[in-house]
């Protein structure tokens, strides 16, 4: 494994105060970068001062979107240690996304070392207030200047870090969701299970249209029949119906969230009946009508757990749990954030301490 070369920044930028923290607007002093060429493979892993990139305008990334990304967080524990939550799962997923986009695989051990070294160097940037964290964004871009539609011969793997504020500033609150009946996020055989830019670019229109009507996010249905639930915004989704906790089974168009896997493991550990299966909007609506829709919530790194208080579907409104956060959602949120920040025991060994 090639050694990571470090060039430290001579100055340090000023850090945002707790109330200035947003999501993804401010970046730390350093970044990681590594190059790929067909002759040399992945080479020259290095940490350098955070800076703009210089790219040829013909770079494949700008035209055909050959790119993938990841998202995870570093958390400060009460005794000022820095923890990562299941980062090896993000590195595995990065390579699954790479494979789907014809991007050469990255050594997962090196990628993880890049993250821990970079976060270690910028660890003063991990904010300490309740609910805050340091967001880690690894990504790969195709840099070959070529207008032909073909896999690039050159890439860069880059990692940047951003201190982020608490997702729930006024406590965890259920949101209103519109079920999307026109646009789809992904289709069977498409790129839905890869974290690649095109999926997000294509989701903007639907999101913009429902935001105008006061909804926080859209609920995505399957791209063929538009009957079965897939995801909510850029989160995985769970329903609790008559005691059973259900999440859509991975079908090739759903992104396999690290939070989703952790929620499933915790629910099994607590002896809740959990199913990964197909679930239609019809089933959700019928359950709500019969008073059996007990909870609904999204899961993802940014919010951890995001309860759904109301669903709008073909002009019908479905209220969930009287618009209040459910017991299971609350228990999952408290436990996951407790484990991530080292405030609770970590029975599954999900976290790693960096230095
Ligand atoms: C990243 C992402 C998720 C959540 O994944 P986590 O690993 O839990 O953060 C879910 N759906 C989509 C579409 C995503 O991009």
**CATH number of the domain bearing residue 68:** 3.30.470.10
For residue 73 and ligand 1, the question of a CB distance below 6 A is answered with no
Decide if 348 is inside a domain.
no
* Distance in angstroms (rounded) separating the CA atoms of residues 28 and 124: 9
Whole-structure pTM value: 0.97
How many Å apart are CA 259 and CA 73, to the nearest integer?
A: 12
Both 329 and 196 in one domain: the answer is yes
What is the domain range of residue 321?
A: 175-340
Answer yes or no: is pLDDT of 14 > 90. Answer: yes
Q: How far is the CA of 2 from the centre of ligand 1 (A)?
A: 30
The span from the CA of 111 to the CA of 120, in Å, is 14
Q: Mind listing the pLDDT tens digit for each residue in 95-104?
A: 999 999 999 9
Domain boundary among 99, 132, 164: 164
CA dihedral 131, 75, 335, 263 (to 10 degrees): 110
Q: How far does the centroid of ligand 1 lie from the alpha carbon of residue 23, in Å?
A: 16
Domain of 261: which CATH number?
3.20.10.10
Same domain? 157 vs 188: no
* Whether the Cβ atoms of residue 63 and residue 152 lie closer than 8 Å to each other: no
Protein residue with its CA nearest to atom 15 in ligand 1 = 234
Nearest to 286 by CA among 226, 241, 238, 223: 241
112 Cα–ligand 1 center, Å: 19
Per-residue confidence band for 310, with pLDDT thresholds at 50, 70 and 90:
very high
- Contact 247 CB / ligand 1 (< 6 Å): no
Cα of 38 to ligand 1 centre, how many Å?
31
Cα 263 to averaged position of ligand 1 atoms, centre (Å): 13
Q: Is pLDDT above 80 for 355?
A: no
Q: Is residue 352 part of a domain?
A: no
190 and 142 inside one domain:
no
pLDDT band at 172 (very low <50, low <70, confident <90, very high): confident
Q: Is the pLDDT of residue 170 over 90?
A: no
Whether 254 lines ligand 1, by a CB cut-off of 6 Å, is no
């Amino acid at each position: 494994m090639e050694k990571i070369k470090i060039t430290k920044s001579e100055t340090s930028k000023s850090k945002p105060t707790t109330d200035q923290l947003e999501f993804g607007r401010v970046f730390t002093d350093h970044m990681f970068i590594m190059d790929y060429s067909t002759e040399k493979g992945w080479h020259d892993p290095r940490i350098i001062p955070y800076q703009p990139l210089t790219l040829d305008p013909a770079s494949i990334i700008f035209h055909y979107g050959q790119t993938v990304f990841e998202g995870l967080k570093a958390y400060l524990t009460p005794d000022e240690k820095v923890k990562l939550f299941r980062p090896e799962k993000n590195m595995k997923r990065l390579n699954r996304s790479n494979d789907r986009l014809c991007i050469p695989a990255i050594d997962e051990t090196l990628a993880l070392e890049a993250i821990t070294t970079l976060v270690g160097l910028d660890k003063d940037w991990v904010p300490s207030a309740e609910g805050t964290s340091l967001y880690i964004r690894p990504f790969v871009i195709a840099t070959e200047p070529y207008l032909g539609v073909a896999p690039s011969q050159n890439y860069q793997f880059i990692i940047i870090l951003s201190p982020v504020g608490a997702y729930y500033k006024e406590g965890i609150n259920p949101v209103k969701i519109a079920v999307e009946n026109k646009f789809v996020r992904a289709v069977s055989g498409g790129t839905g299970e890869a974290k690649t830019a095109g999926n997000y670019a294509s989701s903007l229109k639907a999101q913009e249209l429902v935001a105008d009507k006061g909804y926080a996010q859209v609920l995505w249905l399957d791209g063929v029949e538009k009957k079965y639930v897939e995801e909510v915004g850029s989160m995985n989704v769970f329903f609790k119906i008559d005691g059973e906790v259900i999440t859509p089974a991975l079908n090739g168009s759903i992104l396999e969230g690290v939070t989703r896997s952790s929620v499933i493991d915790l629910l099994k550990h607590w002896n809740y009946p959990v199913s990964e299966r197909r679930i239609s909007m019809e089933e959700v609506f019928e359950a709500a009508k019969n008073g059996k829709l007990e909870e609904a919530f999204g899961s993802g790194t940014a919010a951890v757990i995001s309860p759904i208080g109301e669903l709008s579907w073909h002009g019908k409104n479905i209220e969930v749990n009287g618009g209040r956060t459910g017991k299971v959602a609350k228990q999952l949120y408290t436990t996951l954030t407790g484990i991530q920040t080292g405030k609770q025991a970590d029975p599954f060994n999900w976290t790693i301490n960096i230095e």
